[in-house]
Structure 1
Amino acid sequence: MDWTLEVVLLPVSDIDRAVAFYRDQVGFALDHDTRNEHMHVVQLTPAGSGCSIVIGDLPAQTEMAPGSMRGLQLVVADAAAAREELVSRGVECGEITVFDERDGGTFFGFADPDGNTWAVQQIKARAVHPLIPVEARQRFGAEQES
């Protein structure tokens, strides 16, 4: 049986500010933004990822203190290009650090407006072998639109 991690709850103090940061600055896709008199819940997904973040004001989402998530990890094929993209969108990023010369040993980090922190790891093999092939992403997108 496969067990897939598909959602991580992210504690934030201001939902709209977090949406603007993750969608407009970091570049995550906005999957849904649901508001009614009882709740406000938003799901965003990094390009190529099978796992999304969810922010909101339901009890399960407000049990953690805003900014208390540490070391969530994103993987990119080119850390320098990813860092440059984020910086160009106004995201403050740490410097690139090479812990190990082998693929997977290069990192940089950033934090959201609440202080939740992210590590960005370079795995060059993702350029050739993405976890979710482009064809599958395109097929899934077409299914979502119909």
Structure 2
Amino acid sequence: MDWKLELVPVPVTDVEARIVQLTPPGSGCSIVIGAGSGVTEVQPGSLQGLQLVVPDIAAARAQLVERGVPAGPVQHVENGAMVDGPDGAWNSFVYFSDPDGNGWALQERPPES
């Protein structure tokens, strides 16, 4: 039996519509943003560790920065600590927060064969 994650609610304070659903390009899972009844009772800004995978971490970071997102540098885990610069498969990350303070990460996945 397949079990697939379809939707992640992200609490935010300022949306033009009551519920906004977004699906990242190539993803089978959507993100719904909003607050209150019908979305989530979790406080805006309280979600941490939301993660998106991308094929090119540098290009994805550049896209965020172009759009005004204050994204951190590309980093990787080395000896249990975060170190600046990219690394091998599944070990390159970029961290940023949305305007409400929800914490997001990009992770570079290996190229598809």
Give the TM bin, normalised by the shorter chain.
Answer: 0.7 to 0.9
Alpha-carbon distance in 1 for matches of 2:20, 2:56? 28
Q: 2:99 aligns with which of 113, 118, 125?
A: 113
Name 1:69's counterpart in structure 2.
47
Aligned residues: 105
Which secondary structure does the structure 1 equivalent of 2:39 belong to? helix
Q: Name the structure where helix makes up a greater proportion of residues.
A: 1
TM-score normalised by the chain length of structure 1: 0.66
TM-score normalised by the chain length of structure 2: 0.84
Shift of 1:15: 1.3
Q: Name the structure where strand makes up a greater proportion of residues.
A: 2
Q: Structure 1's 93 and 57: CA in aligned 2 closer, same or farther, altered over 3 A?
A: closer
Structure 1 letter corresponding to 2:93: F
- Give the number of the structure whose alpha-carbon radius of gyration is greater: 1
Identity %: 52
Alpha-carbon distance in 2 for matches of 1:124, 1:84? 19
Name 1:4's counterpart in structure 2.
4
Alpha-carbon distance in 2 for matches of 1:97, 1:57? 32
State the Cα RMSD in Å: 1.6
Which secondary structure does the structure 1 equivalent of 2:19 belong to? strand
Unaligned segments of structure 2, at least 5 residues: 79-86
Shift of 1:102: 2.9
Q: 2:25 aligns with which of 47, 50, 64?
A: 47
1:97, 1:108 within 8 Å by CA — same for their partners in 2? yes
